[in-house]
Amino acid sequence: MAKVKTKFVCTECGAEYAKWYGKCPGCHAWNTMVEEKETILKTKGVGLSSIHTKEKPQSIIHIDNEREPRIETSLVELNRVLGGGVVPGSLILVGGDPGIGKSTLLLQTSHALASKGLKVLYISGEESVRQTRMRADRLGALTETLYVLCETNMDHVNEAIESLEPDFLVIDSIQTVFDPTVQSAPGSVSQVRECTAHFMRTAKIKGIATVLVGHVTKEGAIAGPRLLEHMVDSVLYFEGERHHTYRLLRAVKNRFGSTNEIGIFEMGESGLREVSNPSELFLSERPLGVAGSTVVCSMEGTRPVLVELQALVATTNFPSPRRMCTGMDHNRMALIIAVLEKRNGMFLQTQDAYLNVAGGVKLDEPAVDLAAAVSLASSFRDAPTRPYDVVFGEVGLTGEVRAVSRAEQRVREAAKLGFKRVIMPEKSMKGWKAPAGIELVGVNTVSEALKAALG
């Protein structure tokens, strides 16, 4: 006999409670409780003691330590984010805003793997097979070993996997798939959790590389409990501005590689195109000789990227000045403004300050502090910086400029794009030689950097 149990589940953290709460006691989020019904089957003789596994404990020194084989796709940017390629048996979760290009990216990836002779199964719960074929025609992703199925029932999905035995599996999206044995609606916490657990077991047992597409909330996080991100091997976010053509693929979790790498694509009529030189793309519309504009070199994983940092300082008409920041941490901007006021004598208490990373890029490393300080000072003094200068360095509370990592790679990237001078921490200049045709200006304080950049 089956007993129906009612419970309330938080959609943010996945915590379960016997009654409804306006505020989740676990994650303290408001209005995230949803009611779900769970069917409990009463059986005799079934317990943990009756569950056996074929695996036996092994000594760690006797386990084979060969590296996981990887399947390289024709998309170099995707290979970089994944750590060198797709690992067989891995479970990857891809999230992003609606219409950002998740399905396009995965269909191109499926075509690239199918072109190498692998069996690829693309299961779509949101589009029909004809709609998928229309998109494949536009992308040129027509391959004999690329199979498409429109299905949302987990039982039918299992039958397709058993009959085809693919090497690569795409589920678009996990919120549309439902398990008939779970008494809740598709997309609910229980359904998403159970379906993901099932695909995880299938991927590990059969060695099928599986990609799950996840919807995101208004805040940009993947919809459903955070447990979903803990169950998978890699979590990738596909992000970008709707008003720009390029997209960023960023890894926030990766058991088989670094989480600092990003892949950059450009959206076109024929799909996503890889951007091999992102610095040139971000600087293509940079104005020259304008106050408040500074070029900074930021490290995204192992790749140096040059972007433009823009600042605007204007007199305020309100008692408290506004501080707005896009692409950087707002608290970091407030720290830099405080250093400019205290250590450099700039009276910014009556000034509105706006800071923007051009192109919609997000920078979160401390090496952009010095460029932000130079941009704010340049706009405040209305003194433009040199058009062929690159600035980077970390700023401390006492006004000192601290050393940053990978300084040589940053300088070489600046030299490759034709920049003539780099203002950087003096302590980062030791142990290597600058390339020909570029001048290095070492500074120890923010005052020295402003003097070198603004004259």
Does the pLDDT of residue 182 top 90, yes or no?
Answer: no
Q: State whether 77 and 147 are in the same domain.
A: yes
Res. 256: pLDDT tops 60: yes
My answer on whether 289 and 269 are in the same domain is: no
Region 410-434: what's the mean pLDDT?
Answer: 93
Residues 235 and 311 reside in one and the same domain: no
Instruction: Say which CATH number the domain at 163 has.
Output: 3.40.50.300
**Judgement on whether residues 108 and 227 belong to the same structural domain of the protein:** yes
Calpha distance 242→442 (Å, rounded): 39
Q: Are 30 and 14 found together in one domain?
A: yes
Domain CATH for 407: 3.30.230.10
- pLDDT for res 269: 84
Query: Does residue 51 form part of some domain?
Result: no
Q: For the purposes of burial, counting CB atoms within 10 Å of the CB of 48, is it exposed (0-12), middle (13-18) or buried (19 or more)?
A: exposed
Element (DSSP H or E) covering residue 451: helix 446-454
361 and 387 within one domain: yes
Give the helix ranges, DSSP H, for 140-226: 154-164, 189-206
Indicate the SS3 state at residue 296: strand
203 & 287 share domain: no
User: Which pLDDT score, from 0 to 100, does residue 46 have?
Assistant: 39
Supply the pLDDT for residue 222.
66
Contact 304, 406 (CB under 8 A): yes
Radius of gyration (C-alpha) of the chain in whole angstroms:
26
pLDDT for 165 beyond 60? yes
The pLDDT value given to residue 3: 65
pLDDT at residue 225 greater than cutoff 80: no
Q: 139 with 14, same domain? A: no
pLDDT at 145 over 50: yes
Indicate whether 59 belongs to any domain. Answer: no
Categorize the per-residue pLDDT at 38 as very low, low, confident or very high, splitting at 50, 70 and 90: low
220 pLDDT band, cuts 50/70/90, is low
Sign of CA dihedral 211, 228, 202, 54: positive
Q: Is 289 left (phi over 0), alpha (psi -120 to 50) or beta?
A: left
Among 242, 276, 310, give the residue marking a domain's end: 276
Phi-psi category of residue 135: left, alpha or beta, with phi > 0 → left and psi -120 to 50 → alpha? alpha
* 238 and 314 belong to one structural domain: no
Q: Quick one: pLDDT band at residue 223, thresholds 50, 70, 90?
A: low
Instruction: Identify the residue with better confidence: 224 or 373.
Output: 373
Q: Is residue 64 a part of any domain in this protein?
A: no
- Residue 157 CA to residue 122 CA, distance in Å, equals 11
What average pLDDT score do residues 440-447 get? 96
> 50 lies in a domain?
no
The answer to whether residues 202 and 318 belong to one domain is no
Per the annotation, binding residues for ATP are 96-103
pLDDT at 240: 79
Spatial CA neighbour of 361 closest among 206, 449, 276, 250:
250
* Binding residue ranges: 96-103
CA distance 213 to 106: 9
- Do 17 and 127 share a structural domain? no
The DSSP output letter for 366 is G
Q: Which helix (H) or strand (E) holds 273?
A: strand 271-274
How would you list the strands of the sheet with 323-326, edge to edge? 323-326, 351-357, 303-315, 293-300, 389-391, 421-425, 439-443
Residues 167-188, mean pLDDT to the nearest whole number: 87
Per the document, the length of the chain is 455
Band (pLDDT 50/70/90 cuts) for residue 44 is: very low
In this prediction, residue 226 carries a pLDDT of 63
Pick the residue with more confidence: 369 or 269? 369
DSSP code string of 393-428: -EE-TTSBEE--S-HHHHHHHHHHTT--EEEEEGGG
Q: In b/e form, how buried is each residue of 435-449, taking b as 16+ CB within 10 angstroms?
A: eeebeebbbebbebb
Q: Which residues, listed in sequence order, are joined to residue 122 by a DSSP beta bridge?
A: 148, 170
Position 58 in a domain: no
Give 436's DSSP letter. Answer: T
Does 52 fall in a domain? no
Q: Is the model's pLDDT at 67 over the cut of 60?
A: yes
Q: Cβ distance 241 to 360 under 8 Å?
A: yes
Other residues' Cβ atoms within 10 Å of the Cβ of residue 163:
9
- What percentage of the chain has pLDDT greater than the value 90? 58
pLDDT in tens, 274-305: 988 888 888 888 888 899 999 999 998 788 99
Q: Is 60 exposed, middle or buried (0-12, 13-18, 19+ CB in 10 A)?
A: exposed
Last residue of a domain, one of 252, 276, 300: 276
Last residue of a domain, one of 276, 292, 323: 276
* Mean pLDDT computed over 411-418: 92
Give 220 or 69, the one with higher predicted confidence.
Answer: 69
The string of pLDDT tens digits covering residues 307-317 is 999 999 999 98
pLDDT at 414 over 80: yes
Mean pLDDT of the chain: 88
- Does residue 62 lie within any of the structural domains? no
Does residue 11 have a pLDDT over 50?
A: yes
Residue at token pair 């779509």: 124
More confident residue, 162 or 3: 162
Cα angle at 378 between 418 and 357, to 5 degrees? 65
H-run or E-run covering 34 = strand 33-41
Residue 75 within any structural domain of the chain = yes
336-389, pLDDT tens digit by residue? 999 999 999 999 999 999 999 987 788 889 999 999 999 999 999 999 999 999
Q: Contact, 179 vs 195, CB < 8 A?
A: yes
The number of domains in the chain is: 3
pLDDT value for 98: 84
43 pLDDT higher than 90: no
Domain span at 118: 69-276
20 & 76 share domain: no
